[in-house]
Amino acid sequence: MNRVFPRIPSGCAISGIMNKKGKRISGVDIMKSIALMHDRSNGLGGGFAAYGIYPDYQDHYALHVFYDSLANRVTAEEFINEHFNVDASEMIHTRKVKSITNPPLIWRYFVQPKKNKLLSSELTEAEYVVQCIMKINSCYEGAYIFSSGKNMGAFKGVGYPEDIGEFYRLDEYKGYIWTAHGRFPTNTPGWWGGAHPFTLLDWSIVHNGEISSYGANARFLEMFGYKCTLQTDTEAITYIFDYLMRKTGLSLELAVATVAAPLWKEIDRMDDDRKELIKTLRTVYSSLLINGPFSIILGTRNGIVALNDRIKLRNMVAATKGDFLYIASEESGIREICPNPEKVWVPKGGEPVIGLLEGVKSI
């Protein structure tokens, strides 16, 4: 297993909007916000994640899949049909956009795990779905599941984010959380799967930065069955949160204290209980510290979390107005869609901005 992990650094713009009452808005605002930061991407990748968009199928996993060819679809569908009950399957509606060339075949399935398969696998439902996704993504050529949550979806591709939004007709979808990403890769395979956001089940991540701990993070994750098949840091970050929160059951607050761990000299100043807890986390999960510059917006069905690396090497601004929380790489990205926010602030390194839906206790 002396695998060497290929990877591609990239810089970016990110943006996020959420309504804490769960009121759904169209994708127009998020497209405007990310379009304003056009210069932060270079047309080689853009994408969105939206929550609340499939109310009619809220209990189904919505699989969004890229296929290179019809033949790839036929083979992968065999696997999907074998492991899931597919209640709807369709090609995702797109619009012709001049700058978007050569899109793959893009399909959507609303599925539920087959009961008998799930039982005999002796896995939790979430783990079962994750393993099926990992299987397709690492073993099925020309097939790539890029979104798999319930009542949410990712839309991404190669192009400027506003063009990608146009292409996917995001103005026609309505969600209570929207996140967006414009990518500035320094090198790219020109592959649609490589665009952000990266998602796994309900998790979605948009990320700006290049993490210098990638090799350490990825090799640790491999030990726990995660396959870093993609060429992005974002994938690793998603798996880290999935591992810490879903698999080991850490709270969001402690997961954040693990990936953007406080400095030892700050830990030394904590009270004894806290000190021991944070020290233990940092020691046991030392390989999951995310090092180097990053700003990320993590989305789940319950809300969003925005986080900067612990010494704040990437810009990120937050604002609120009424029931809305806004996050963007630049303040202008917020003012474009919310000219007079009630509060605007620059979150400190390592200190998360947490937006939760009303009535929800944790992310």
The catalytically annotated residue of 12, 132, 228, 338 is 12
Q: Is 12 a catalytic residue?
A: yes
- Cβ nearer to another protein, comparing 213 with 232: 213
Residues 213-272 that bind another protein (CB under 8 A): 213-216, 219-220, 222-224, 247-251, 254, 261, 263-265
Q: Scanning the structure block, which residue is given the tokens 């009961």? A: 115
Phi/psi region, residue 335 (left: phi>0; alpha: psi -120 to 50; beta: rest), is alpha
Other C-beta atoms lying within 10 Å of the C-beta of residue 60: 19
Say how far apart CA 208 and CA 189 lie, in whole Å.
19
Q: Which stretch binds another protein (CB under 8 A): 101-109, 193-201, 210-218, 316-324?
A: 210-218
Q: Binding residue for another protein (CB under 8 A) from 5, 57, 79, 191?
A: 5
- Cβ nearer to another protein, comparing 170 with 261: 261
Q: What is the largest CA-CA distance in the chain?
A: 60
- Cβ nearer to another protein, comparing 22 with 262: 262
At 336, list the tokens. 């474009």
Displacement of CA 211 from its chain's centroid (Å): 16
74 vs 2, 63, 82, 137, 185, CA distance in Å? Answer: 33, 15, 12, 15, 32
- Cβ nearer to another protein, comparing 32 with 246: 246
Answer yes or no: are the C-beta atoms of 254 and 280 closer than 8 Å: no
Q: Which stretch binds another protein (CB under 8 A): 42-50, 74-82, 146-154, 207-215?
A: 207-215
348 is an interface residue for another protein by CB under 8 A: no
Q: Which stretch binds another protein (CB under 8 A): 9-17, 41-49, 107-115, 130-138?
A: 9-17
186 is an interface residue for another protein by CB under 8 A: yes
Say how far apart CA 172 and CA 187 lie, in whole Å.
32
- Cβ nearer to another protein, comparing 92 with 277: 277
DSSP character string of 286-332? GGG---S-EEEEEEETTEEEEEE-TT--S--EEEEETTEEEEESSHH
Q: Binding residue for another protein (CB under 8 A) from 94, 212, 229, 315?
A: 212
φ, ψ of residue 157 in degrees (nearest 5): 175, -175
345 is an interface residue for another protein by CB under 8 A: no
Count of residues that interact with another protein, criterion CB under 8 A = 52
- Cβ nearer to another protein, comparing 166 with 309: 309
Interhelix angle 125-139/70-83, nearest 10 degrees: 160
Closest alpha carbon to 282 in 304, 250, 259: 259
277 is an interface residue for another protein by CB under 8 A: yes
Say how far apart CA 135 and CA 131 lie, in whole Å.
6
362 is an interface residue for another protein by CB under 8 A: no
Q: How far is the CB of 330 from another protein (least distance, A)?
A: 18
38 is an interface residue for another protein by CB under 8 A: no
9 is an interface residue for another protein by CB under 8 A: yes
Q: Is the dihedral of CA 208, 348, 152, 213 positive or negative?
A: positive
Residues 290-329 that bind another protein (CB under 8 A): 290-293, 310-311, 313
Binding stretches for another protein (CB under 8 A): 1-5, 7, 9-11, 186, 209-216, 219-220, 222-224, 247-251, 254, 261, 263-265, 273, 276-277, 279-281, 283-287, 289-293, 310-311, 313
Could you give the residue numbers annotated as active site? Answer: 12
